[in-house]
């Protein structure tokens, strides 16, 4: 291993690499061997979020050369896939991270050098808008330069196909093969053809926003409660460009922004991490909401595909919703409004409509959808799998909406990824709709729990960095396959889902069932009381993730507090089981 990564590092001292890169490599060779190993022990791979890593020199880093080779490989693949297309086109956007604009320009240069037309956003724009642009402009692919919600040291390269969705099999592996075949930067065509690069401006902004506004379901409620106080923060990212504008166009007139976090800055100076899943990231917004008397707080990550939401809870205090709760509210709101507007009917099977969630997202979404007679698909983790269902059903059935526990949601078919811009609009109009009934959003959540059951979840992420970390994660996954949990917090395990083997084992009947999903390194355990543990390595970070889920029935608001304490205790016991691995 040491010999291989040292040889690779030495190859980066060739004159094919610029002086700054060579100097950085020399510094690592003469300095921290662990850092050198991590930078060169492997090539960056396309995972659930595409190419993503720390910015710097190395094959396992994001830099002009790994970006260039990825784009050359993608160009080669595009030209193979569309041999009869006279001028295939791609769209490129980027976020506020360090070097995002530079990497976008390099990407545009390589595409154009390969005879591929490029639509390049003139300014940073959200990931969902890139997805929209791919379809709207008739592109064969798209690239978004972003590391989503990762820390400031990261950047990345999300690849989209002609359906506007992130790549899935077989394209992902085929692109990896093409990138690998590039070999080194000497085989990358970096010389730009300016005649093939078109700069996108306000026209695409208007098309995107106007399309999303057609998905609004409660214009009367917005008109009546247009002045509900809302606080929004873009966390120094692309949401600044679109979220306030769509809320303004929808009719909301009392939206305040956190001025310090409106600055486009890849250092994300006001937060330790620009992740709306992190309560600390919303502190400034929640403080401003207290000053303004706002009942709703919204936050988007740097590329504006994930949304964080805080609402007024019991006693009037602001509380941050988790991703499952936000998805629950939006699922209920969409289905109820579809019912009220006559798009679906209660008591029948609404086969023309459907929703989608991921296997680690709360089962409460499926319970709600079933009550409305709407099918809920369950797919692997990653919004690209939700998008694949939408593409497969295009022209046959209508996608109402769907989401995942990691703060991602979408509705309608204009965008084939999670969309925090649209989600912000839907959350605000759901709040207006609730206000028309004399309620806050938390009251709606309480109504849902009383009707469908109290579901509670917890996510535990354990970081395992470097080569040793990868080996340890693989060891944990192997161990739970060989010796699965036979009980969950004292309740007997009845089902074991092994998504890598594509098999469900019923421990009660000892029968086995086929899982009709692509192979994925995920294990899931379900107990007799419907408690659940799901385990998977992250596809974008050096982490292993444990998803814990429990549920119970409640008959009154007074029972919620007691039920919450009991479910927390059960989650603590499940956490003890997984952390003992």
- Please state whether beta strands 375-379 and 353-358 pair in parallel, antiparallel, or not at all (unpaired): parallel
DSSP H or E segment with residue 203: helix 202-213
Q: Residue range 274-293: average pLDDT? A: 96
Q: What phi and psi, each to the nearest 5 degrees, are found at residue 557?
A: -60, -30
Q: Number of helices and strands (H, E) in the chain? A: 18, 23
Dihedral sign, CA of 329, 333, 336, 338? negative
Band of residue 43 on the pLDDT scale cut at 50, 70, 90: confident
Annotated catalytic residue 148? yes
Poorest-pLDDT segment among 176-180, 187-191, 462-466: 462-466
Would you give the distance in Å from CA 132 to the centre of its chain? 16
User: How confident is the model at residue 445, as a pLDDT?
Assistant: 97
Angle between helices 323-340 and 420-435 (to 10 degrees): 60
User: How confident is the model at residue 180, as a pLDDT?
Assistant: 87
User: How confident is the model at residue 46, as a pLDDT?
Assistant: 63
User: How confident is the model at residue 540, as a pLDDT?
Assistant: 67
Q: Which of 75, 96, 148, 538 is catalytic?
A: 148
Q: Select from 205, 198, 168, 182 the least CA-distant residue to 90.
A: 198
Poorest-pLDDT segment among 36-50, 137-151, 156-170: 36-50
pLDDT digits (tens, 9 = 90+) for 191-247: 999 999 999 999 999 999 999 999 999 999 999 999 999 999 999 999 999 999 999
pLDDT digits (tens, 9 = 90+) for 115-132: 999 999 999 999 999 999
pLDDT at 328 over 90: yes
Q: Is the preceding omega at residue 134 within 30 degrees of 0, hence cis? A: no
Q: Of residues 204 and 1, which shows the higher confidence score?
A: 204
Q: How far apart are the first and last CA of the chain?
A: 27
pTM: 0.95
pLDDT at 2 over 80: no
User: How confident is the model at residue 371, as a pLDDT?
Assistant: 97
High-pLDDT (> 90) share of the chain, %: 87
The DSSP code sequence of 415-478 is: -SS--HHHHHHHHHHHHHHHHTTT--HHHHHHHHHHHH-EEEEEEEEEE--HHHHHHHHHHHHH
Q: Of residues 457 and 35, which shows the higher confidence score?
A: 457
User: How confident is the model at residue 42, as a pLDDT?
Assistant: 85
pLDDT digits (tens, 9 = 90+) for 444-462: 999 999 999 999 999 999 9
User: How confident is the model at residue 447, as a pLDDT?
Assistant: 97
Set out the domains of the chain in order of their start, with CATH numbers. Answer: 42-200 (3.40.120.10), 208-452 (3.40.120.10), 454-579 (3.30.310)
Q: Residue range 489-496: average pLDDT? A: 97
Q: Select from 180, 211, 148, 166 the least CA-distant residue to 73.
A: 180
Band of residue 47 on the pLDDT scale cut at 50, 70, 90: low
């Amino acid at each position: 291993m040491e010999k291989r990564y040292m040889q690779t590092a030495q190859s980066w001292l060739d004159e094919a690499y610029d002086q700054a890169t060579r100097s950085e490599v020399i510094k690592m060779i003469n300095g921290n061997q662990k850092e050198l190993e991590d930078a060169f022990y492997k090539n960056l791979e396309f995972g659930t979020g595409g190419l993503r890593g720390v910015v710097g020199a190395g094959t396992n880093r994001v830099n002009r050369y790994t970006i260039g080779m990825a784009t050359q490989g993608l160009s080669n693949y595009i030209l193979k896939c569309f041999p009869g297309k006279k001028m295939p086109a791609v769209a490129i956007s980027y976020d506020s991270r360090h070097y995002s604009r530079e990497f976008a320009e390099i990407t545009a240069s390589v595409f154009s050098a390969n005879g591929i037309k490029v639509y390049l956003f003139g300014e940073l724009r959200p990931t969902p808008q890139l997805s929209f642009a791919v379809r709207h402009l008739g592109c064969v692919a798209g690239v978004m330069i972003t590391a989503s919600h990762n820390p400031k040291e990261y950047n990345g390269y999300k690849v989209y196909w002609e359906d506007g969705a992130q790549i899935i099999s077989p394209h992902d592996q085929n692109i990896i093969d093409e990138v690998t075949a590039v070999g080194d930067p000497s085989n990358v065509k970096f010389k730009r053809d300016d005649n093939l690069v078109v700069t996108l401006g306000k026209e695409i902004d208007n098309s995107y926003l106007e399309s999303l506004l057609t998905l609004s379901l409660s214009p009367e409620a917005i008109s009546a409660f247009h002045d509900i106080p809302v606080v929004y923060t873009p966390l120094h990212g692309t949401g600044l460009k679109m979220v306030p504008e769509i809320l303004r166009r929808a009719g909301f007139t009392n939206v305040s922004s956190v001025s310090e976090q409106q600055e486009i800055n890849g250092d994300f100076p006001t937060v330790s991490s620009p992740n709306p899943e992190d309560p600390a990231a919303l502190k400034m917004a929640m403080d401003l909401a207290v000053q303004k008397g706002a009942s709703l707080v919204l936050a988007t990550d740097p590329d504006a595909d994930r949304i964080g939401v805080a609402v007024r809870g019991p006693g009037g205090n602001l509380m941050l919703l988790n991703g499952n709760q936000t998805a629950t509210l939006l699922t209920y709101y969409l289905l109820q409004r579809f019912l009220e507007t006559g798009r679906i009917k209660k008591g029948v099977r609404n086969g023309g409509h459907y929703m989608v969630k991921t296997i680690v997202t709360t089962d409460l979404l499926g319970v709600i959808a079933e009550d409305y007679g709407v099918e809920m698909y369950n797919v692997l983790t990653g919004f690209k799998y939700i998008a694949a269902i939408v593409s497969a059903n295009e022209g046959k059935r209508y996608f109402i909406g769907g989401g995942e526990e990691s703060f991602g949601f979408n509705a309608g078919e204009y965008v084939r990824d999670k969309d925090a811009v649209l989600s912000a609009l839907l959350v605000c109009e759901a709040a207006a709709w609730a206000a028309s009934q004399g309620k806050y959003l938390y009251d709606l959540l309480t109504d849902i729990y009383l009707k469908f059951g109290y579901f509670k979840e917890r996510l535990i992420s354990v970081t395992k960095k470097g080569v040793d970390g990868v080996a340890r994660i693989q060891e944990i996954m192997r161990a739970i396959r060989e010796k699965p949990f036979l009980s969950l917090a004292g309740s007997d395990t009845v089902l074991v889902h092994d998504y890598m083997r594509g098999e469900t084992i019923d421990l009660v009947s000892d029968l086995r069932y086929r899982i009709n999903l692509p192979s994925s390194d995920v294990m899931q355990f379900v107990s007799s009381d419907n408690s659940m543990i799901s385990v998977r390595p992250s596809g974008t970070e050096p982490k292993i993730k444990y998803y814990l889920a429990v549920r119970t029935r409640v008959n009154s608001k007074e029972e919620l507090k007691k039920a919450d304490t009991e479910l927390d205790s059960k989650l603590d016991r499940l956490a003890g089981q997984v952390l003992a691995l």
